[in-house]
Chain A
Amino acid sequence: MSPKTLYDKIWDAHLAHEAEDGTCLLYIDRHLVHEVTSPQAFEGLRMAGRQVHAPDKTIAVPDHNVPTTAGRENAETMPEDSRIQVAALDSNAKDFGIHYYPVSDVRQGIVHIVGPEQGWTLPGMTVVCGDSHTATHGAFGALAHGIGTSEVEHVLATQTLIQRKARNMKVEITGKLRPGVTAKDITLSVIGETGTAGGTGYVIEYCGEAIRDLSMEGRMTVCNMAIEGGARAGLIAPDETTFEYCKGRPHAPKGAQWEAALAWWKTLYSDDDAHWDKVVTIKGEDIAPVVTWGTSPEDVLPITATVPDPSDFTGGKVEAAQRALDYMDLKPGTPLSEVKVDTVFIGSCTNGRIEDLRAAAAILKGKKIKDGMRAMVVPGSGLVRAQAEEEGLADIFIEAGFEWRLAGCSMCLAMNPDQLQPGERCAATSNRNFEGRQGRGGRTHLLSPAMAAAAAITGHLTDVREIM
């Protein structure tokens, strides 16, 4: 048998049909659904008189639009258009008989945090969601990617996706990370290396000692941003860390089924002599705590660097960098550690899990945020929030001066009232620094939770290693 990559193995195990021209139907094991990209898909089903093909494999949760302030169970407190979208998901979930975690359920949260937390996401599965950060689930060795609303409708109706196979790309992070360097710094550094289109047309498998050493939560942070590097999906081969995380989760297999699953999961790795279409290798020790300076996730530099000059670049990037600096109101040559911020956002599907909150709280313990700073923690799920309260992390955040919010996507994409005002500058643990992403005219610097906490204390982008 010819050697295969992990992606090849999962693909082969889910191929339901292949046409002569190579167009394939890939079977989908888990379909995650949220309120923003699904209403038109359910409407399409209704118009055509179709049912959801596999409601038991379909899981819905509202996250993008929901307020993160107390009293939100009362839908009347939501803006009208958001309320209509959430109400539509409520009724679609009920009408089509799919699994659902409404706002009032403690298990509600960001769809990419809820799926793994509840054990819906397991190794070797195919997972899709109408959201590009579905790549997150690749941390389990699941083939997971974002799809558009037409494809959401297609999966609802047929439990398959029309696909062509992507190419294989290996991203290896060798050796150990230095102190103060996190999964977020890995994933941003990879994008800095490959560019935002470097992974287009590929599925990335992250490997190497530094990846193996990460917890499941760190691995989810890495895979989450595969899409920011252009790859639809990122993968990490499952291992004991993965199995340990999955065991005992509400929807993970039990007993004999667990043993059978485990036996298969242990075959899910790339063969030694598998073919790679592209390979990128980065030494773990070369990765520093990083921040973004521009309006693309590839605009990333170590915190010790200075704002670049557009003339440092070539081609279309010259104009793009100039536009980014104008938008960000930054001057070339300014040390990044001197850039003042007025807002700090800790949360999102990238960094809204318990370990992220622990890392930020470790920096904040016994300290106060800078006067005038607006700082917010938005746990990724109700369960993350409850655990953080139990561990005393919530008290640390509140005493430091942070707002302690309810779960949702919040200021990552600012669809709910959590938004930047024009000209405000935010240190954010989220995944996109696009123009207007966190609110029209708002400026975003992406960084790790520990770095965000450091910036909240000092009032400017800060090398967390100086505070640790």
Chain B
Amino acid sequence: MDKFTTLTGVAAPMPLINIDTDMIIPKQFLKTIKRSGLGVNLFDEMRYDDDGNENPDFVLNKPAYRNAEILVAGDNFGCGSSREHAPWAIKDFGIRCVISTSFADIFFNNCFKNGILPIVLPQEDVDKLMDDAERGANAILTVDLEAQTITGPDGGTISFEVDAFKKHCLLEGLDDIGLTMEKSAAIDAFEARAAVERPWV
């Protein structure tokens, strides 16, 4: 997995609440057997018209945000399906950090598996960053995972919380499966115990 340490980039505002994973990557793009190449279809139905032309009003089509690396979003971002294609598409587009007041659980978890940092902040902080993001090309934020801070264009700093284990994995770019396999003795012991206690499983 790609490491996440610090990120300085343009933040795009998406204040809409309940942005679901069908919006992030519609179903017709789930027929792939690869993880890559989904960025061009990120937010496909909002981003393109019926003929496939770019909708100029959509935030990521505006010149200032075409290279956005951070998203500031409304409540409950990533609700709906478990499709990991959603974070794959976000990352493939070039976004490595999403900030909101709340995320759906499965999406939130999926982000960490793909080197994307989702940050939960109180409403007033998200409002402030949303204002910053509205400033177009000047909407530059710096996210420092080690320090757990976000620095805005005016130099103000906001702190955020992150699970210590998930932070460690992101900072080091660690592979979950490799880490778990180091605990295979515990898994083997559990299986031996369960085979006696619940042999029908």
Interface membership of chain A positions 119-135, coded 1 if the CB is closer than 8 angstroms to chain B and 0 otherwise: 00010110000111010
Chain A min CB distance to B55 (Å):
13
Within 8 Å of chain B (Cβ to Cβ): is A17?
yes
| B201 and A37 within 8 A (CB) | no
Within 8 Å of chain B (Cβ to Cβ): is A174?
no
Which of B62-110 touch A at CB < 8 Å? 74-76, 79-84, 87, 102-106, 109-110
Chain A min CB distance to B44 (Å):
9
Which residues of chain B are within 8 angstroms of A227 by Cβ–Cβ distance? 106
Which residues of chain A are within 8 angstroms of B17 by Cβ–Cβ distance? 315-317, 319-320
Chain B min CB distance to A231 (Å):
8
Total contacts A to B, CB within 8 angstroms? 188
| A148 and B177 within 8 A (CB) | no
With contacts A40-B33, A316-B74, A440-B50 taken as known, whether A148 is within 8 angstroms of B113 at the C-beta atoms is: yes
| A316 and B30 within 8 A (CB) | no
Q: Considering only CB atoms, which chain B residue lies closest to A317 in the complex?
A: B17
Which residues of chain B are within 8 angstroms of A197 by Cβ–Cβ distance? 18, 75-76, 79, 102, 104
Which residues of chain B are within 8 angstroms of A323 by Cβ–Cβ distance? 16
| B22 and A316 within 8 A (CB) | no
Q: How far is the CA of A440 from the CA of B146 in the complex (A)?
A: 42
Q: Considering only CB atoms, which chain A residue lies closest to B45 in the complex?
A: A436
Q: How far is the CA of A16 from the CA of B76 in the complex (A)?
A: 31
Binds A, one of B132-140, B154-162, B186-194: B186-194
Chain B min CB distance to A322 (Å):
11
| A23 and B16 within 8 A (CB) | no
| B81 and A132 within 8 A (CB) | yes
Q: How far is the CA of A201 from the CA of B106 in the complex (A)?
A: 10
| B181 and A158 within 8 A (CB) | yes
With contacts A150-B114, A415-B27 taken as known, whether A434 is within 8 angstroms of B106 at the C-beta atoms is: no
| B83 and A296 within 8 A (CB) | no
With contacts A17-B187, A230-B76, A264-B198 taken as known, whether A148 is within 8 angstroms of B82 at the C-beta atoms is: yes
With contacts A148-B113, A154-B177 taken as known, whether A432 is within 8 angstroms of B190 at the C-beta atoms is: no
Q: How far is the CA of A285 from the CA of B189 in the complex (A)?
A: 49
Within 8 Å of chain B (Cβ to Cβ): is A270?
no
Q: Considering only CB atoms, which chain A residue lies closest to B74 in the complex?
A: A316
Which of A390-436 touch B at CB < 8 Å? 413-415, 422, 432, 434-436
Which residues of chain B are within 8 angstroms of A149 by Cβ–Cβ distance? 35, 84
Which residues of chain A are within 8 angstroms of B53 by Cβ–Cβ distance? none
Q: Considering only CB atoms, which chain B residue lies closest to A30 in the complex?
A: B201
| B26 and A440 within 8 A (CB) | yes
| A435 and B22 within 8 A (CB) | yes
Within 8 Å of chain B (Cβ to Cβ): is A85?
yes
Q: How far is the CA of A93 from the CA of B163 in the complex (A)?
A: 35
Which residues of chain B are within 8 angstroms of A134 by Cβ–Cβ distance? 82
| B82 and A27 within 8 A (CB) | no
A interface residues (Cβ-Cβ under 8 A, vs B): 13, 16-17, 19, 21, 23, 25, 27, 29, 36-37, 39-40, 43, 48, 50, 57, 64-65, 79, 81-82, 84-85, 88, 122, 124-125, 130-132, 134, 145-151, 153-154, 157-160, 162, 164, 166, 196-197, 200-201, 227, 230, 232, 253, 257-258, 260-261, 264, 296, 315-317, 319-320, 323, 413-415, 422, 432, 434-437, 440-441
The 8 residue pairs across chains A and B that have the minimum distance between CB atoms: A253-B200, A150-B113, A148-B110, A81-B31, A39-B33, A148-B84, A146-B82, A16-B190
> What are 24 A-B contacts with C-beta separation under 8 Å?
A13-B198, A23-B165, A25-B180, A27-B191, A37-B30, A124-B198, A147-B82, A147-B109, A148-B87, A150-B113, A158-B181, A160-B180, A162-B165, A196-B18, A232-B105, A315-B17, A316-B15, A320-B74, A415-B28, A432-B81, A434-B20, A434-B23, A435-B45, A437-B22
B interface residues (Cβ-Cβ under 8 A, vs A): 15-18, 20, 22-23, 26-28, 30-35, 45, 50, 74-76, 79-84, 87, 102-106, 109-110, 113-114, 163-165, 176-177, 180-181, 183-184, 186-187, 189-191, 194, 198-201
